Amino acid sequence: MRTTVKFTAALAAAAALTLGLSACSAPSDTSTSSSKKGKDADPEAKLVIAASPTPHGDILNFVRDHLAKDAGLKLEVKELNDYNVPNTATQSGEVDGNFFQHKPYLDEFNKKNKTDIVPVVNVEIEPLGLYSKKVKKTSELGDGATIAVPNDVTNEGRALKLLADNKVIELKDGVGAGATLKDIKDDKGIKFTEIEAAQIPARLADVDAAVINGNFAIGAKLNPAKDSLALEKAEGNPYANFLAVKKGNEQDPRIVKLAKLLNSDEVKKFIEEKFSNGAVIPAFGPAKS
């Protein structure tokens, strides 16, 4: 029998993040005080992008420090370890865009929150991995074992697909990346704990194994290539992370510049060298709306 324990994000922490973002995004600091948006936005104004620290913040900071000035772009990066605040801030205009998510997550967020954020350009893929401090191989995960999975809809489905692909569980026929715990056909006696994705690395020692998003694995000093029991394949992976903006701002001249820089040879080389363990892989090209 499957046992499920669900942990929601700490509301107080999220509120604090939102307040902190608002406090440091005064009108004098960002372009959001301008009445002109989209293609009519001031190309000389500062562009503020929210991002999770690793690898998104790393990539944006590289662009800011090495490429932005020559391109005539004033880029500011606001790093947030949260999956909700970047989109909320982008929708409200507190920031000009964000870089932290893939399309299935954005689609679910827009639907749930009635927002209209759109992808601009794909940048990279972070393979999802299964990690453990207690077992050495997936075959050791059986009756009575506990596995932590992300509690947001898209990443939970992605995690369950990874487990099914590696024979840890069996999903019902026809179920894909949108799977939920109710779609498990055979759990093999495994107990599942749903936790906010950002909090899973800190809870790894409390469970037998955990499915961890690539950026959070990197932040927790985990090496996907060496430390994971199972890892998503990069080829054909639909979870490319992209630069996103509120609909209508895709042609903001500053966003156009940043999109070009994020798909540059210099950024490709930076990603391949900094994340040589395969934790982050370049995935350039236009993002599908």
Q: Which CATH number fits domain 11-126+237-286: 3.30.70.100, 3.40.50.2020, 3.40.50.12500, 3.40.190.10?
A: 3.40.190.10
Per-residue model confidence (pLDDT) at position 82: 86
Per-domain boundaries in the chain: 11-126+237-286, 128-231
Per-residue model confidence (pLDDT) at position 35: 59
Stretch 246-269: mean pLDDT, rounded?
Answer: 98
Per-residue model confidence (pLDDT) at position 28: 35
What mean pLDDT is reported for the chain?
Answer: 88
Looking at the predicted structure, is the pLDDT value of residue 99 above 80? yes
Give the fold, CATH level 3, of 128-231: D-Maltodextrin-Binding Protein; domain 2 (3.40.190)
Looking at the predicted structure, is the pLDDT value of residue 234 above 80? no
Query: Whole-angstrom Cα distance, residue 156 to residue 256?
Result: 32
Within this chain, domains 11-126+237-286 and 128-231 share the same CATH topology: yes
- The four Cα atoms 104, 285, 213, 166 give a dihedral, to 10 degrees, of 80
Looking at the predicted structure, is the pLDDT value of residue 21 above 60? no
Looking at the predicted structure, is the pLDDT value of residue 24 above 50? no
pLDDT digits (tens, 9 = 90+) for 64-84: 999 999 999 999 999 998 889
Which CA distances in Å does 129 have to 74, 217, 224, 230, 275?
35, 8, 7, 6, 15
pLDDT digits (tens, 9 = 90+) for 26-58: 333 444 445 578 999 999 999 999 999 999 999
Lowest mean pLDDT among 6-20, 116-130, 218-232: 6-20
Stretch 157-171: mean pLDDT, rounded?
Answer: 95
Stretch 133-161: mean pLDDT, rounded?
Answer: 95
Q: Report the percent of the chain where pLDDT is more than 70.
A: 87
Looking at the predicted structure, is the pLDDT value of residue 261 above 70? yes
3-state SS, one letter per residue, for the chain: CCCEEECCCCHHHHHHHHHHHHHCCCCCCCHHHCCCCHHHCCCCCCEEEEECHHHHHHHHHHHHHHCCCCCCCCEEEEECCCCCHHHHHHHHCCCCEEEEECHHHHHHHHHHHCCCEEEEEEEEECCCEEECCCCCCHHHCCCCCEEEEECCHHHHHHHHHHHHHCCCCEECCCCCCCCCHHHEEECCCCEEEEECHHHHHHHHHHCCEEEECHHHHHHCCCCHHHHCCEECCCCCCCCCEEEEEECCCCCCHHHHHHHHHHCCHHHHHHHHHHCCCCCCEEEEEECCC
Per-residue model confidence (pLDDT) at position 18: 41
Q: What's the pLDDT band for 246 if we cut at 50, 70, 90?
A: very high
